[in-house]
Structure 1
Amino acid sequence: WQVAATASGGWSGYIRDPRLTILSDSDNTAVDVGAASHLGGCRTGAVPQMMLSARVVHFAPRGWGFRLSAGYAGLRYAEPTFVRRTARVALEAGTTPEAFAALVAQERLPDAVTLDAALFKSFYFGRSRLTLSCTADNLLGTTCPYDGYESMRVGRLRSGADEAWRPHATRYSYAAPRSVTLSAAYAF
């Protein structure tokens, strides 16, 4: 038997508001120099703040074996965008406290849980070995976002003479769906 478990936790984020230089798309001239981006307190995206994993592997007689593994990634956040949080965008477009909060808020991604299993059989031919295996990944079949990043763009909403701005939706990458793989490996 082989049993392994790991755990990690930490805080990865911005403690102050970074300063930016914003360049024009058309001719690369500086549009805003030293602009403060309201990132203080935001977490770094694509970095789980807490992770747990466990794995059990058993090698049975006559070449049989199995592996069962589980993982957890928690306290995950979408990658924040810098430009949307500058005074040029957030303070101008965030005309109400609610609008400003929507422009500078960071989205927390849902916690991710995985469960994988594998069954394998090895056949020995002298000094050679043939291994057949069946692997099932994401047994829970969850469609959890793997990663996400905020859009730099904001959308304008008009109602009569009033005008409001809101951030565009966060973009997500999703973890692989449930999958089963059959494989054969020959070592000589």
Structure 2
Amino acid sequence: MSTENAFTIINQTGENILVAFISRMTQLETYAWKVVGPSQDHPHIEPFPKQMELVTNYYPEGVSSEGPYGGKQTDSVWWDTIKKTPTAYKADWNEAANKVDVKLEGENHNGADISIENNSGSMIYVHPKFGSNEYIPPITLIAFSTANYQFEWPMSVAVVDGYSQYCPPNGELYEVKNKLSDLSEMLPGQTVVITGNLSEGYQLEVS
């Protein structure tokens, strides 16, 4: 497998470890796009999707919201993870089809990676998906509002000892409980070598 657009992990700890690809951090939570268990015998290669898929859940007028994974879902739109051009999207109510449409509007100029304008008149939930998994928790937009979102990049990796795994309809999402190493920033095409051990600590070297 080509490693040009992939993350490579080399586990030299002599232990079975878990490595998280950290995609979002708040004061209370740490979310991971994936948590993997790299082999001690050969490198772990994690492919890097070239596009991020954005799908939106919504509730038609008169239907009560049951959260970000219910209701109806729009067709996908895409964000280029290679070029990373700041992009604007607009969610409009399609009166003739009785549904919400999300369309690419073009480049945005507010400094954020994506701008999403909700003109549908109802709350919507936008799900950024990286490959088959959700990249971050859903982005919630109330009616007639705009969200500007900056993805944390480069992605960070860390050794972790546990996580909660959610399996919503749009793909898995991980919430990391405890980090056992410092965070190391990592780009596709790079390799991280992990050394150390649980008792003395882990070291990550990215090259």
Q: Same fold (TM over 0.5)?
A: no
Q: For the pair shown, which has the larger CA radius of gyration, 1 or 2?
A: 1
Q: TM-score range by the shorter chain?
A: under 0.3
Structure with greater helix share of residues:
1
The structure showing larger relative contact order (alpha-carbon pairs under 8 Å, at least 6 residues apart) is 2
When normalised by structure 2's length, the TM-score is 0.26
When normalised by structure 1's length, the TM-score is 0.27
